[in-house]
Amino acid sequence: MASMELDRFADELAAGTLSRRAFHRVLASVGVVTLTIPAATAQTFPIEVFTWPGYDAVALRPGFDETYGAEPDFLLYADNDEAFGKVAAGFRPTIVQPTNHTIARWRTASLLKPIDTSRLANHASILPGLLDIPALQDSGETFGVPFAWGNSSIIYRKDLLPEGTDDQSWNILWDENLAGRIGQRDSMDAVVLNAAMVLGIDDPYTMGESDLERVREKLMEQRELLAFYWTGRSEVEQALATGEVMAAYGWNASYAALKRKDVDVGYMVPREGVLTWVDCTCLIADGPGDEDEAYDYINAGLSVEAGAYLIETFGYGAANAGAFEAVAPERLADLGMEDPRRLLAASRFFGAWDPRTRENAVRMFEEIKAGF
């Protein structure tokens, strides 16, 4: 244990003075995700939120900490697979915020409980295009509430691209004129969907062997043109800022961050479609903490104030339609979000994979990366 001697951990645990946050941090450091807290240490703990980096910002829960006298406990994950894997293995937070296309996995595994939307003060203010996502509903019950949304598209250096390469297509990530200066995300969902759209495959989520083989060939072709596969936002942002790469798969947040630094970047609306994701707030079926507190946390995240912060700081879309009215029109124009309803109507939302297709696609991508 890097931050606490073993004997100190034992002493504080026995004395009941070990905070829940420290307790879980120590457990996580040694790979433990399930536990039974001794009765001697029992106390009223804050809710625990398992979420993406950045979503723990206090501005995304206005008034919550003041109401409860403490912030929630946060544990952060790097991707959806990590989040699902930990909870499926036994870790139990109160709230999790996975992306829309993964929620069916959580629901099928009986990890989520229904959300009573009558307890959500701003539910009626959620953009209609977000409420229509099929994965959030099952048998008339709601299992996920939209929190933030954004696009996955191509960020490119407008000042560096060779003439004629800016054709508003995912094909730019296969442009031989940019060999060695293309960045791609280290994510099966990203690379396989990009290739499938370029190839004109209508439903990549249920691809058979023949279409998967076409995707494999396309990704092997791309691999030879890449500077790298990126795993974190900062990596691709730095490469774009320095000019190491001229075009890369990226998110609104990275585009917004680069614009703030006055880097001359564009954000494409490819003719094949913009991929759109929605991070949703869900309740864990047997999660700890007070239910009223959990609902207050969800309500805080759906507020106009939280939504405006999401837009201003991350360049993401907010679930609450009123949040867009709280942001300066020029800022919305800069982000391409002047008309969020139109943007959502034109989106290709990430979908749920057929389990067999997903398994084959994950294995294929790992094999391709092995040859990078």
Q: What mean pLDDT do residues 243-263 have?
A: 92
Task: Give the CA angle between residues 115, 118, 122 to the nearest 5°.
Answer: 95
Q: Quick check: 158 and 246 in contact, CB under 8 A? A: no
Q: Determine the length of the chain.
A: 372
Give the domains, in start order, of the chain with CATH numbers.
Answer: 1-43 (no CATH), 47-143+279-331 (3.40.190.10), 150-274+351-370 (3.40.190.10)
pLDDT for the residue 5:
36
Say if residue 250's pLDDT is above 50: yes
- The total of other beta-carbon atoms located within 10 Å of residue 262's CB is 8
φ and ψ at residue 86, rounded to 5 degrees: -70, -40
- Token pair recorded at residue 233: 């936002």
pLDDT for the residue 44:
57
Say if residue 23's pLDDT is above 50: no
pLDDT for the residue 132:
86
pLDDT for the residue 372:
65
How far is it, in rounded angstroms, from Cα 251 to Cα 134? Answer: 23
Say if residue 22's pLDDT is above 90: no
**Mean pLDDT computed over every residue of the chain:** 88
Taken in order 318, 122, 351, 362, the sign of the CA dihedral is positive
**Residue of higher predicted confidence among 41 and 156:** 156
Q: What mean pLDDT do residues 150-174 have?
A: 89
The position carrying tokens 């791609």 is: 184
Percent of residues, the chain, with pLDDT higher than 70: 87
Q: Is 41 exposed, middle or buried (0-12, 13-18, 19+ CB in 10 A)?
A: middle
Rounded to two decimals, what is the model's pTM? 0.73
Say if residue 317's pLDDT is above 70: yes
pLDDT for the residue 139:
92
Q: What mean pLDDT do residues 95-119 have?
A: 96
How far is it, in rounded angstroms, from Cα 303 to Cα 317? Answer: 13
